[in-house]
Amino acid sequence: MSASIPMAAGREAEPMIRLESVSRFYGDVLGVNRISLEVSGGITSLIGPNGAGKSTLMNLIAGLIPPTRGRITVLGVTPSEAESLFPQLGFCTQYDVFPAGARGRDWVRQNLLWHGYSRGDAAAMCERALARVGMTAAAAKKLESYSKGMRQRIRLAQILAFEPRLLILDEPLNGLDPLARTEMAALFRSLAAEGRGLLISSHILHEVEAMSDRVILLRDGYLAGEGGIGSVREEIQEHELQWLVRCPKPARLAALGLEARAENGRPLINQARVFDRPEPALLLGTPAPAAFFLALNAWIARGEIEVETITPADDDLDAVYRYLFGQEGA
Amino acid sequence: MNSSAASLTHDAFRPQRDAGRGFRAWLAYEFKRALAPRRAGALVALALLPAAIILLLGWVARWHGDNPASMLSPGFYARLFDELLLRTVVFFGCAWLFIQLVRGELTARTLHYAWLVPVRRTRLGGGKFLAGMGAALLLFGGGTLLSRLAIEYMRDLPPAGAEWGTLGGYVGVAALACLGYGAVFFLLGAGVRQPLFPALAFYGWEQINFLLPPWLQRCSIIYYLHALHPGSIPQHEWGFVPPPISYGAAIAWLLGIGALSAWLGVRRFARLEISYGGEE
């Protein structure tokens, strides 16, 4: 029996995701409230500070939780229709866990077997996906031994393997080093170029603005705004954000950043604070994140510095919202 | 990372899905998972406990120069089967095995992987229960078989004729116990956040069954298992005499209780939300 993809030809023009006045409450606690939106192909970023309701919204779209109110349609079907939806929908959740003892390759292949592929097909599809995320060499290792970035990649391989039309990725850049972030962003763009839809969440607007076609802004469970990335990009670039960079030589990185200039002549770093404990790190502020990360990649490539992790230190998007919308929230 | 690789959608490589194959893969995965060494080690030890006790008692008797057959009588085995195998090994073994099928995944935060595969959730739940039943039958049916063979070995009486029928009867009752207890614990695992206390209350209910009035004795699993017991177990000096019931009715009740509990468990499982707590 061959499973069919239940997409009628006429539905191609329909949005991939449609939410109609969707609300979700956890008892008395608001998850999201009265969200109505449509998401089509390309890369759409779901942005909001921690607790804004991004993961709740993604879990609702994928059917991991049901809405308290409202209606959700994904790729023409409701999320409860697993046999129709999940051959076409891949979801990397926020849950960074795997079954104990599993190995990378086996876990990717296991998911394909659950999808109903033969062992031979599953093996071939698994290898293609592993190659695409650069995990072929590490795929034989146990998942417990993986770094955060490797776990992100193997989870991405797991959903890429069955070639979904729509990918939902919850904080996929979280924990990745700058080079891996760049590679991942390039991969997302190539997936979108193939005609797939991507819904990517982040609590950092700058992180996804370079690759997104469209942004959806959430705050306190409400839709704070949505639109094309072009309309907000220039304004975003004026807003300064802070980043924490863990590296063996933070003072060296600070010196490089303070000396370097963006194309408009502004410094790449205008705030720098070096920490020695608990581990060497640099807290920096940059008014030109895109130019800073470009330069950072070049320094790493030339061996001038080594970077272990880079994480946003400014989790508070309220400032950005005020900046973008001129008000506290929706 | 190879972002410039060819599109994943490749005309020459378009494998076919088969929903039935996906379900069978799920069943096989769950069966292997139920018997994974880190999970099933204690269950295997529990299943082998009766056989080990019988062998130990037999060897001790021989060491003292006694005939093990006098100690390891059919009556001894009948009591051992009731008190150790049914009430302890199968009960607690099924409690651990079937509660872990669902609750274990929620604790480990891995249930969402199942929710994202193209198999209906009721089928996923049914598959989980069937895999648990397969593992329970293998462990505790096998444990019963080994314990029975161990006693025949110690008594130097190889099974023959009617003995095979008795052996089959014990294994059959153990299998029905797996179904009855397994289904109840599957329902508890899917429906209750803290199944330990309900499980202990259920244990107490099964233990005091003989003290209950006849109509309440019917509201248990052990009552029907006792009715099917191939050996003779002594009646308690106090308490109520269990009401009579035919073999056929006892089997039908056990199958009915098992099917109803499993069905409710599958329904509850299918409605579970992925909310592991603390992630929002």
Write out pLDDT tens, residues B113-132.
Answer: 999 999 999 999 999 999 99
What phi and psi values does residue B270 have, to the nearest 5 degrees? -65, -20
Closest by Cβ to B1, choosing from A117, A133, A194: A133
Q: Do B118 and A85 touch (CB under 8 A)?
A: yes
B87, part of any domain = yes
State the DSSP string of A211-268.
Answer: T-SEEEEEETTEEEEEEETHHHHHHHHHS-EEEEEE-S-HHHHHHHHHH-B-TTS-BS
B31 touches chain A (CB under 8 A): no
Could you tell me which residues come within 8 angstroms of residue A169 by beta carbon, excluding any fewer than 6 positions away?
Answer: A91, A92, A156, A188, A198, A199, A200, A201
Q: Do A55 and B8 touch (CB under 8 A)?
A: no
pLDDT in tens, chain A (330 residues): 333 333 333 344 689 999 999 999 988 888 999 999 999 889 999 988 778 899 999 999 999 999 999 999 999 999 999 999 999 999 999 898 998 889 999 999 999 999 999 999 999 999 999 999 999 999 999 999 998 889 999 999 999 999 999 999 999 988 787 788 888 889 999 999 999 999 999 876 666 777 888 888 888 898 887 877 666 555 555 556 678 888 888 998 888 888 888 777 777 888 888 888 778 888 888 877 778 888 888 898 888 888 888 877 654 445 555 555 544 433
Q: Do A82 and B8 touch (CB under 8 A)?
A: no
B11 touches chain A (CB under 8 A): no
**Chosen from A114, A163, A201 to mutate, greatest number of chain B CBs within 10 A:** A114
SS3 state of residue A85: helix
Q: Identify the band that residue B8 occupies on the pLDDT scale cut at 50, 70 and 90.
A: very low
The ipTM assigned to this model is 0.85
Domains of chain A: 9-234 (3.40.50.300), 239-325 (3.30.70)
Q: Do A121 and B115 touch (CB under 8 A)?
A: no
Number of domains in chain B: 1
Closest by Cβ to A117, choosing from B15, B29, B274: B15
B32 touches chain A (CB under 8 A): no
Contacts of A90 in chain B (CB under 8 A): 116
User: Which residues sit opposite A142 in a β-bridge?
Assistant: A103
Q: Do A115 and B3 touch (CB under 8 A)?
A: no
Closest by Cβ to A55, choosing from B16, B20, B280: B280
Provide the shortest C-alpha distance from residue A220 to chain B (in Å): 12
B185, part of any domain = yes
Closest by Cβ to A160, choosing from B8, B17, B22: B8
Contacts of A101 in chain B (CB under 8 A): 36, 38
B273 has a pLDDT exceeding 50 = yes
**Chosen from A7, A95, A177 to mutate, greatest number of chain B CBs within 10 A:** A95
State the DSSP string of chain B.
Answer: --TTSPPS-BTTB-PPP-HHHHHHHHHHHHHHHHT-HHHHHHHHHHHHHHHHHHHHHHHHHHHTT--HHHHS-HHHHHHHIIIIIIIIIIHHHHHHHHHIIIIIHHHHT-HHHHHTSSS-HHHHHHHHHHHHHHHHIIIIIHHHHHHHHHHHHHTT----THHHHHHHHHHHHHHHHHHHHHHHHHHHHHH-SSTHHHHHHHHHHHHTGGGS-HHHHTSSSHHHHHHH-SS--PPPSSS-PPPP--HHHHHHHHHHHHHHHHHHHHHHHHT-----SS--
Q: Do A131 and B2 touch (CB under 8 A)?
A: yes
Q: Which residues of B242-255 are buried (b: 16+ CB within 10 A; e: fewer)?
A: beebeeeebbebbe
Closest by Cβ to B38, choosing from A87, A98, A101: A101
Q: Domain of residue B259: give its range.
A: 23-270
Nearest CA to B192 out of B264, B124, B134, B108 is that of B264
Token couple for A99:
């079954």
- What is chain A's alpha carbon radius of gyration, rounded to the nearest angstrom? 21
What pLDDT, on a 0 to 100 scale, did the predictor assign at position A267?
78
SS3 state of residue A309: strand
Q: How many residues does this entry show for chain A?
A: 330
Chain B residue with Cα closest to A59: B274
State the DSSP string of A273-302.
Answer: EEE-SSS-EEEEEES-HHHHHHHHHHHHHT
B3, part of any domain = no
B4, part of any domain = no
Contacts of B20 in chain A (CB under 8 A): 1, 116
B163 has a pLDDT exceeding 90 = no
Strands A42-47 and A214-219: parallel
Contacts of B279 in chain A (CB under 8 A): 55, 94-95
Q: Are B117 and A86 in contact (CB under 8 A)?
A: yes
CA–CA gap between residue A76 and residue A11 (Å, rounded): 7
SS3 state of residue A320: helix
Q: Are A299 and A264 in contact (CB under 8 A)?
A: no
What pLDDT, on a 0 to 100 scale, did the predictor assign at position B38?
76
Nearest CA to A169 out of A161, A159, A178 is that of A159
Q: What is the mean pLDDT of chain B?
A: 88
Q: Do A65 and B33 touch (CB under 8 A)?
A: no
Contacts of A78 in chain B (CB under 8 A): none
Q: Do A56 and B279 touch (CB under 8 A)?
A: no
Q: Do A131 and B5 touch (CB under 8 A)?
A: yes
B2, part of any domain = no
Closest by Cβ to A194, choosing from B9, B110, B118: B9
Q: What is the pLDDT of residues B12-36, one digit of tens each?
A: 557 888 989 999 999 999 999 999 8
What pLDDT, on a 0 to 100 scale, did the predictor assign at position A330?
35
Q: What is the pLDDT of residues A172-223, one digit of tens each?
A: 988 787 788 888 889 999 999 999 999 999 876 666 777 888 888 888 898 8
B222, part of any domain = yes
Q: Do B9 and A83 touch (CB under 8 A)?
A: no
Q: Are A284 and A245 in contact (CB under 8 A)?
A: yes
Nearest CA to A17 out of A71, A95, A97 is that of A71
What pLDDT, on a 0 to 100 scale, did the predictor assign at position A145?
92
Average pLDDT over every residue of B126-151: 95
CA–CA gap between residue B120 and residue B30 (Å, rounded): 16
Span of A70-74, A219-223, B157-161, B275-279 with lowest mean pLDDT = B275-279
Q: Do B280 and A26 touch (CB under 8 A)?
A: yes
Q: Are B189 and B99 in contact (CB under 8 A)?
A: yes
Average pLDDT over every residue of B76-100: 94
Residues 142-161 of B with CB under 8 A from A: none
B259, part of any domain = yes
B14, part of any domain = no
Q: Do B8 and A59 touch (CB under 8 A)?
A: no
Q: Do A183 and B25 touch (CB under 8 A)?
A: no
How many Cβ atoms are within 10 Å of B62's Cβ, its own excluded? 12
Q: How many residues does this entry show for chain B?
A: 280
Provide the shortest C-alpha distance from residue A283 to chain B (in Å): 26
Q: Are A202 and A208 in contact (CB under 8 A)?
A: yes
Q: Are A242 and A284 in contact (CB under 8 A)?
A: yes
User: Which residues sit opposite A311 in a β-bridge?
Assistant: A244
